[in-house]
Amino acid sequence: MVPVDEGTRPTRVDAVVIGAGFSGLYMVHLLRNKLGLTVQGVEAADGVGGTWWWNRYPGARTDSLYYIYCYSFSKEIADQWDWNERYSAQPDVQRYLDHVATTFDLHSAYRFSTRVERAEFQADSGIWLVTLSDGSRLEATYLVTAIGLLSAPNLPPFEGLDDFKGEWYHTARWPDHDVELAGKRVAVIGTGSTGIQLIPTVAEQAAELTVFQRTPNYVVPSQNKMLTSEDRDEIKRDYAAIFQRLREHPFAMPFASPGRNALDVDDDERRRIYEEAWQKGGFYFLFEAFDDLSVDDAANETACEFIRGKIQEIVEDADTAELLTPRGYPYGSKRPPAGTDYYETFNRSNVRLVDVSTTPIDHLTESGLRVGDTEYEFDVIIFATGFDASTGAFSRIDIRGRDGKALSDAWANGPVTNLGFSTSGFPNLLMVSGPLSPFANIPTCSEVCADFVAGLIGYMRKHDIKLVESTETAEKEWAAHVTDIANLILAGRGEAVNTWFAGANIEGKAHAINVYFGGADDYIARCNHSAENDYEGFALTNA
Ligand code: NA7
For ligand 1, atom 23, the nearest C-alpha belongs to 386
Short-list 121, 37, 18, 13, CA closest to 454 = 37
- Cα gap 105→424, rounded to integer Å: 34
Mutate to test the pocket of ligand 1, among 385, 442, 499, 514 (most ligand atoms within 8 A of CB): 385
Query: How many Cβ atoms sit within 10 Å of the Cβ of residue 537?
Result: 20
Short-list 127, 130, 105, CA closest to 42 = 130
Q: Tens of pLDDT along 101-146? A: 999 999 999 999 999 999 999 999 999 999 999 999 999 999 999 9
Please list every protein residue whose CB sits less than 6 Å from any atom of ligand 1: 150, 156, 189-195, 212, 214-215, 335, 356, 360-361, 384-387, 498, 500, 505
Short-list 210, 222, 511, 510, CA closest to 342 = 222
Give the Å distance between the CA of 215 and the centre of ligand 1.
9
- Cα gap 476→498, rounded to integer Å: 25
Q: Which atom of ligand 1 lies nearest, measured to the CA of 172?
A: 25
What does the mean pLDDT of the chain come to?
96
pLDDT higher than 90, residue 543: no
Task: Tell me what percent of the residues of the chain surpass a pLDDT of 70.
Answer: 99
CB 100 within 8 A of CB 22: no
pLDDT higher than 60, residue 1: no
pLDDT of residue 491: 82
Residue 449 CB-density burial (10 A; 0-12 exposed, 13-18 middle, 19+ buried):
buried
- Cα gap 80→116, rounded to integer Å: 34
pLDDT of residue 2: 62
pLDDT of residue 240: 94
**Helices in 156-292 by DSSP H: which ranges?**
193-205, 229-237, 239-246, 267-280, 283-288
Q: Give the mean pLDDT of 61-79.
A: 97
Give the Å distance between the CA of 218 and the centre of ligand 1.
13
Q: Give the mean pLDDT of 381-402.
A: 97
φ/ψ of residue 54, rounded to 5: -80, -35
In DSSP terms, 436 is beta-bridged to none
Angle at 71 between CA 69 and CA 77, to 5 degrees: 115
Short-list 125, 122, 66, CA closest to 96 = 66
pLDDT grade for 495, boundaries at 50, 70 and 90 = confident
Handedness of CA 143, 146, 150, 153 (dihedral sign): negative
CB 39 within 8 A of CB 14: yes
What DSSP assignment string belongs to 42-97? Answer: E-SSSSS-THHHH---TT-B-SS-TTTSS--S-HHHHHH----BSS-BHHHHHHHH
- Cα gap 428→14, rounded to integer Å: 11
**What is the residue type of 70?**
C
Q: Tens of pLDDT along 146-171? A: 999 999 999 999 999 999 999 999 99
8 or 449, higher pLDDT: 449
CA dihedral 104, 105, 107, 108 (to 10 degrees): -150
Q: Give the mean pLDDT of 239-258.
A: 95
- In the DSSP assignment, the letter for residue 370 is E
